[in-house]
Amino acid sequence: RPSYADAHGTTFFEAIEHMEQIEGMPTRTTKPLSAFRDMMHELAAFAKDHDTKPSEVVAEVLAKSGILEELQRSEDPQDASRVDNLSQLQSVAAEFEQNTPDATLAGFLETTALVADSDQ
């Protein structure tokens, strides 16, 4: 059976936006999806308001998502490396702001994507 998003020719996030219209979706599913949707809206608004400060956006995403905190609590050695990677991402965002007079979040993401592409 195709997913709601596939059946309606929409994205996963757009499906979450309209999940009240999906029949038979249990509360145990809608509750965390609603929290995720709300967090994404909050982060999008924060990113819009802090567009010239990519490091602040990165910090907010890490804080709101809880990913950094979760990784720091983990005893998995690979997660320590992931924490280092996320810290490096924050540092690179701050460095981008300092070195780019007209820094924007989009500019930072484009630069980061280009660097990642060249690493492969």
The overall longest dimension of the chain from CA atoms, in Å, is 52
Read off the pLDDT of residues 12-46 as tens digits, 9 standing for 90 and up: 999 999 888 888 888 999 999 999 999 999 999 99
Give the pLDDT score at 120: 56
Give the Cα separation of 40 and 32 in Å (integer): 12
Helix (H, G, I), strand (E, B) or coil at 52: coil
Helix (H, G, I), strand (E, B) or coil at 117: helix
Helix (H, G, I), strand (E, B) or coil at 66: coil
Average pLDDT, the chain: 91
Read off the pLDDT of residues 52-100 as tens digits, 9 standing for 90 and up: 999 999 999 999 999 999 999 999 999 999 999 999 999 999 999 999 9
Chain position carrying tokens 């599913």: 29
Whether 43 and 13 have beta carbons less than 8 Å apart is answered as: no
| Residue 112, phi then psi, degrees to nearest 5 | -65, -40
Chain position carrying tokens 């999008």: 44
Structure-token pair, residue 112 = 């980061």
Give the Cα separation of 57 and 24 in Å (integer): 36
- Helix, strand and coil in the chain, % to nearest 5: 80, 0, 20
